[in-house]
């Protein structure tokens, strides 16, 4: 069995899963914006739906993230070594998690619905941070390593 190919497949698939959940959340939140940033009469069940969606999305994203980290560590340990590129990529992923989680705690968790459009735009700032970091990690991985 080709363990290197299997680990690469797992690593790329889990990273794509993590990335995909973030992208999916962006589309769901864009779709819900008129209801969650509207008047009180229009919100009804949407905040509960968003809360349930985020719980499910977090489970999938966490699984993808953890699998990407574990498979990445195994690839570095058994096949690639602890090169500068591996350390840079690891640092960027750590930075992504710190920036994303910090912003979630600071700006997203305090939101209540319905909220103003300006408050709702905090979600888009979160996705800008997250997707920019994904682009940076992928750019470093494919063009600088």
pLDDT at 27: 96
- With pLDDT > 70 as the criterion, what percentage of the chain qualifies? 97
pLDDT tens for 104-132 read: 999 999 999 889 999 999 999 999 999 99
- Kindly list the distances between the CA atom of residue 117 and the CA atoms of 20, 52, 79, 125, in Å, as whole numbers in the listed order: 25, 22, 49, 13
Q: Where does the pLDDT of residue 40 fall: very low under 50, low under 70, confident under 90, or very high at 90 and above?
A: low
Is the pTM above the cut of 0.85? yes
- Alpha carbon distance 20, 62 (integer Å): 12
Q: What is the mean pLDDT of residues 23-38?
A: 92
How high is the pLDDT of residue 42?
A: 66
For residues 60 and 26, what is the distance between their CA atoms, to the nearest angstrom?
15
- Give domain limits for the chain: 3-144
């Amino acid at each position: 069995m080709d363990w290197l190919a299997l680990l690469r497949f797992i690593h790329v698939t889990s990273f794509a899963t993590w990335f995909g959940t973030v992208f999916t959340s962006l589309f769901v939140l864009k779709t819900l914006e008129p209801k969650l940033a509207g008047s009180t009469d229009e919100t009804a069940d949407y905040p509960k739906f968003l809360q349930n969606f985020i719980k499910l999305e977090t489970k999938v994203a966490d699984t993808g993230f953890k699998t990407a980290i574990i498979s990445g560590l195994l690839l570095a340990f058994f096949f690639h070594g602890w090169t500068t590129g591996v350390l840079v990529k690891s640092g960027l992923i750590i930075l992504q998690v710190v920036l994303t989680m910090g912003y979630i705690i600071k700006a997203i968790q305090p939101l209540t619905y319905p909220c103003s459009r300006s408050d709702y735009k905090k979600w888009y700032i979160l996705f800008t941070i997250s997707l920019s970091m994904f682009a940076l990690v992928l750019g470093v991985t494919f063009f600088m390593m």
